Amino acid sequence: MTIIDEFILWLRLRPRLFGEIKEITPKQKQLIEKWKKGIAEALGVPVEAMREDVAERWLEHWIKALVKTEYWKTLGID
């Protein structure tokens, strides 16, 4: 593993290490899996081709976009 690979790995883990990303609940994980499957199907690629990090960010951003701010705390979003 090169120093660049280690740096990229650290960048991906940093949000979890510093508490910037909350742990994903089982229901949220199911939603991510359904989204990945649907997008992969639409693109004609296997589900394994979908990036997990992007799918997790997608969930966080769409929750913020769809849910009113007064309900964010009930979902554990700041």
Domain borders along the chain are 22-75
User: What is the tens place of the pLDDT at every residue in 10-27?
Assistant: 666 665 555 555 677 888
Which residues are within 8 A (CB) of 77 and not within 5 positions of it... i.e. 6 or more apart? 22, 60, 63, 64, 67
Amino acid making up residue 45:
V
7 compared with 14, residue with greater pLDDT: 7
- Alpha-carbon span 66 to 68, nearest angstrom: 7
Q: How confident is the model at residue 50 (pLDDT cuts 50, 70, 90)?
A: very high
